[in-house]
């Protein structure tokens, strides 16, 4: 199934990785480095952006939502484009559109909220007036070609 970033955070059952808190100055300095990388490469990796508990809840939600949406589309209840975004490489891959409620919203609040690296990074790169268009989860199954 889907594996949102953060799942590997706890290697032992019940082990919790402590969340690191940073001052606004530290976040701003780190954000500037990340912003430069995002602008030049188009992608950055932020380890620990989600807590293990939030990542687990999101993964479970995505797995269940994918099954529910596939069944809904197969039964003729909705067109595929209402639940799945178009992909260039379709083989062994799906792009599941997610609702802005429940675990996806919880994850967005954790990712973009106060003292989050991603929230300050996006504010630095695209500004406060940027619009949010969709939330989706790209799910690659074994055998998928690299993008």
Q: What is the pLDDT of residues 42-56, one digit of tens each?
A: 888 888 899 999 999
pLDDT of amino acid 30: 60
Q: What percent of the chain has pLDDT over 70?
A: 76
Mean pLDDT of 63-85: 90
| Long-range pairs for 104-110: beta carbons < 8 A, 24 or more residues apart | 104/58, 104/61, 104/135, 106/54, 106/57, 106/58, 107/4, 107/50, 107/54, 107/55, 107/57, 107/58, 108/135, 110/49, 110/50, 110/51, 110/54
Mean pLDDT of 3-17: 38
Phi, psi of 112 (to 5 degrees): -110, -5
Is 137 in a helix, a strand, or coil? strand
pLDDT of amino acid 51: 94
Confidence check: pLDDT of 6 > 60: no
Question: What is the rounded (10 degree) CA torsion for 23, 28, 34, 39?
Answer: 160
The C-alpha atoms of residue 35 and residue 28 are separated, in whole angstroms, by 10
Average pLDDT over the chain reads 79
Tell me which DSSP letter residue 8 carries.
G
The C-alpha atoms of residue 49 and residue 8 are separated, in whole angstroms, by 12
């Amino acid at each position: 199934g889907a594996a949102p970033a953060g799942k590997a955070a706890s290697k032992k059952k019940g082990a919790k990785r402590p969340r690191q808190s940073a001052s606004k100055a530290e976040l701003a300095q780190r954000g500037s480095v990340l912003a430069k990388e995002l602008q030049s490469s188009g992608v950055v990796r932020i380890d620990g952006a989600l807590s293990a508990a939030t990542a687990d809840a999101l993964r479970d939600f995505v797995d269940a939502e994918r099954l529910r949406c596939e069944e809904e589309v197969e039964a003729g209840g909705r067109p595929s484009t209402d639940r799945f975004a178009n992909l260039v490489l379709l083989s062994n891959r799906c792009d599941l559109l997610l609702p802005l409620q429940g675990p996806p919203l919880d994850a967005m609040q954790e990712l973009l909220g106060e003292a989050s690296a991603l929230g300050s990074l996006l504010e630095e790169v695209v500004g406060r007036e940027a619009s949010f268009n969709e939330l989706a989860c790209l799910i690659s199954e074994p055998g998928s070609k690299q993008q």
